[in-house]
Amino acid sequence: MKNGFSIKKISGRRVWDSRGRPTVETEVLLNNGGFGRSIAPAGASTGSGEAVDLRDNNQACGGYGVNNAVANVNGEISETLLGLNAFDQKHIDQCLINLDGTENRGRIGGNAMIATSMAVAHAAADGDKKPLWNYLRDKETHLSKKIVLPLPEIQIFGGGAHAEGHLDLQDFMVMPYGASTFSEAMEWTAEIYLAAGSIMDAQGKRFGVADEGGYWPVFKSNEEAIETLVKSIELAGFSTEKQVGISLDIAATQLFSNEGYFLKSEKRLLNNDQWFDLMLNWLKAYPIVAIEDPFVEDDFTRHAKLLAVINTGVESGKNNSIELVGDDLLVTNIKNIAVAKEVNACNTLLCKPNQAGTLTEARLAFEGAKENGWNTIVSARSGETEDVTIVHLSLGWGIEQLKVGSFSRSERMAKWNEMIRLEDRLGSDAVYAGGKPLGRNETS
């Protein structure tokens, strides 16, 4: 254990996220001069088992105030962590967990906890005179010398809880796996984003920007949105067979009631079997390489049934590498990952640190997914800021996919641009994670 890393000061303050809502920022100062700052993100579409934000629930700020959470950072959290060694992240985070004492982190607040947990990591890295990714990577033992830059997953159209229900599905995304570098993947995405806008203009469709930066169009159906996304990729000059795939975040829990799945934009109610067939038909018909939360969060059985079909090949020409991603299904929780593994309900974890409450718990979830042989995508939230911690987590922990929203809005671009800087600095020491289709055979 390194000396000189004891925590000298912790302070919290209220700042503002990309939706104009208050959130928690924590700063940590070490005795050796190491300094760290981090900001808690917040979700709009949330799983029932994730760590909860502590909100003031009064008339101020629409009930989203964080004065109590900030007071907890400056009070109980500071009193508990002062003098502890920031190099021991696991111990720091366990102290936060013990201090809260609840299953959902509702007493002192998941927002207060994750902001503090991440700030401690930043302070320790600064005290060790390393960028955060390098500090985290040096503590890993399973990583090869070659650093892998993640494959980005980028929203083009937004819907669901992110765009007031004009589209039922939450995210219509692209994954530029065929690019040769991360920077090239960004350039391809820029062309696709522009192409999508031009199609909307040509069709005279009204659109704005959803809260993660994607277009917010008015389509007659969700399938029309998928078809338009395919057209956007092709109009930009890319192949959906060999260069760019589609990823869908269904966020099915938001659509489910006891009567079935209701597509508001289409005024359609589907029972469980009809909904399953719809998901399968989309996988057959479109170049989908990843599908997230296709069923309500507690329906492990149908998740497992769909994965079984994926594993045997949904059709001739598609292989078993389509990612079935668990977000609300797993909520970055090692216990849920164990249940999903037992019934084979998914093959990819969406890792959101604030869902867990601390970095240690998020890393534990990632390790559990890795032991299962799953992929992992580290992900931002809909309510974001300039904080770029998750970019460093992806490199530091060796997570080879990154999802931060769309290709507009500064809170999103801050993260994409940070990865571009890291790619530039690393040069030949790093390699891009793309290079092959995720959901298509090489010969298709």
Q: CA 38, CA 118: separation in Å to the nearest integer? A: 6
Task: Find the catalytic residue in 352, 403, 415, 418.
Answer: 352
> Which residue in 312, 319, 192, 306 sits closest to 243, CA to CA?
192
> Which residue in 275, 199, 188, 316 sits closest to 240, CA to CA?
188
> Which residue in 276, 277, 247 sits closest to 170, CA to CA?
247
Residue 53, classified by CB atoms within 10 Å of its CB into exposed (0-12), middle (13-18) or buried (19+), is buried
- Number of residues assigned to the chain: 444
DSSP 343-365: HT--SEEEE-HHHHSSHHHHHHH
Active site annotation includes 50: no
Q: CA 359, CA 116: separation in Å to the nearest integer? A: 10
Q: Beta-strand (E) ranges in 78-186? A: 147-149, 151-158, 171-175
What angle do helix axes 272-285 and 300-312 make, rounded to 10 degrees? Answer: 30
Partnered with residue 401 across adjacent β-strands are 151
Contacts of 192 (CB under 8 A, 6+ apart): 156, 174, 232, 233, 236, 238, 244
SS3 8: strand
Q: In this structure, what are the phi and psi dihedrals at residue 324, rounded to the nearest 5 degrees?
A: -100, 105
Q: Are 173 and 249 in contact (CB under 8 A)?
A: yes
| Eight-state DSSP code of residue 75 | I
Q: Are 113 and 105 in contact (CB under 8 A)?
A: yes
Task: Find the catalytic residue in 27, 212, 384, 400.
Answer: 212
Q: CA 24, CA 22: separation in Å to the nearest integer? A: 7
Active site annotation includes 352: yes
Q: How many angstroms separate the first and last alpha carbons of the chain?
A: 52
DSSP 271-304: -HHHHHHHHHHHHHHS-EEEEE--S-TT-HHHHH
> Which residue in 259, 263, 185 sits closest to 223, CA to CA?
263
* Cβ-based neighbour number of residue 398 at 10 Å: 19
Q: CA 254, CA 256: separation in Å to the nearest integer? A: 6
Which residue, chain included where needed, has tokens 């049934």? 305
Q: CA 162, CA 181: separation in Å to the nearest integer? A: 30
Q: Where in the sequence numbering do the catalytic residues fall?
A: 212, 352
